[in-house]
Amino acid sequence: MSIPVWSYILIVAAGLLSAQARAELHARDLDGHRANAEAWYDSELNITWLAQTHGARGTAFDDGNFGDGMLSWNQATAWVAQLDLGGATGWRLPAMTDLDPPGCDHFQLPLSDCGYNVDPAHSELAHMFHVTLGNRSADVPGGGLVHRGPFGDLDGGLYWTGTSLVTHPQNAAWAYIFGIGAQEIEGKSAVTVHAWAVHEGDVGRALEVPEPPVAWLWCCALLLAALHHESGRMRAALVRFARVGMRRTGHSSDDG
């Protein structure tokens, strides 16, 4: 029985779409060791995220329970302001916009500033959760922190934004909870939560990340299809196409 050619083409297409899902994050080196990325440049927002989402863990700023990487808001802003990573200074906490009216007023509405499904265009952390990583808020089945991308230590806890509550700027600030994909307000000194450093623009040295060998994958799909096709003429045609493609991508020069 012949397996349709389209089966192989669909498999390759799915692989290419998966690779494109993270295409807006680009590895950046900050310490001169090119084996590891210390940051990721988000080309869609034109900001650079620290690779560690618990970067303040064990520092002098780690108040409350020492060593858990969770800080009060004032300590979080103090930590991020003094960061010097390979000469890169000027780090900050992620930003959001308190949409009108001030405060958390739209908890039940989508694309507001509070609760589930806040507008990713007005919150860098919500953009990371929904758009960059491809997660859904926990108000739907299967929602929550499913995809972490390259951020291995990203957890489901709260992360500070750098945005104070307009009506109580000394007491409260906005935070984002990655476990459920929701934005809310917390007392600046009432809780200690995570701090994730971000920087304007493209910071650090670009690291080579191999591009998916697109043309080569298509050739493999054609060869697989040829191997399983019942028609001898179709098999020969598919193999011919694959060989032409592989020669052009430099993977083979053997015509057999």
Which spans of this chain sit near Ca ion (rule: CB under 5 A)? 29, 31, 33, 36, 62, 64-65, 68, 70, 98-99, 105, 113, 192
Compare residues 112 and 221 and give the one whose CB is closer to Ca ion.
112
Which of residues 33 and 248 has its CB atom nearest to Ca ion in the complex? 33
CA-based angle 27:32:35, to the nearest 5? 55
Q: Name the minimum Å distance from CB 166 to Ca ion.
A: 8
End-to-end CA gap in the chain: 27
- Contact (Cβ atoms closer than 8 angstroms) between residue 131 and residue 120: yes
Q: How far is the CB of 193 from Ca ion (least distance, A)?
A: 9
> Is 51 or 242 the residue whose CB approaches Ca ion more closely?
51
Q: What is the number of other CB atoms lying within 10 angstroms of the CB of residue 131? A: 15
Q: Least distance in Å: CB of 81 to Ca ion?
A: 18
Of the pair 67, 210, the CB lying nearest Ca ion is at 67
Within 10 A of 153 (CB to CB), how many other CB atoms are there? 14
How many Å apart are CA 215 and CA 201, to the nearest integer? 32
Q: What does the DSSP assignment read for 148-202? A: -TT-TT--SSEEEEEEEPTTSTTTEEEEEETTTTEEEEEETTT--EE---EEES-
| Residue 248 CB, nearest approach to Ca ion (Å) | 35
Phi, psi (5° rounding) for residue 151?
Answer: -95, 85
Measured from the CB atom, the residue of 55 and 144 that comes closer to Ca ion is: 55
At closest approach, how far in Å is the CB of 255 from Ca ion? 44
Q: What whole-number distance in Å separates Cα of residue 159 and Cα of residue 54? A: 10
Q: Is the Cβ of residue 18 or residue 82 nearer to Ca ion in the bound state? A: 82
Does the CA dihedral 65-69-75-76 come out positive or negative?
negative
Tell me how far, at minimum, the Cβ of 185 lies from Ca ion, in Å: 10
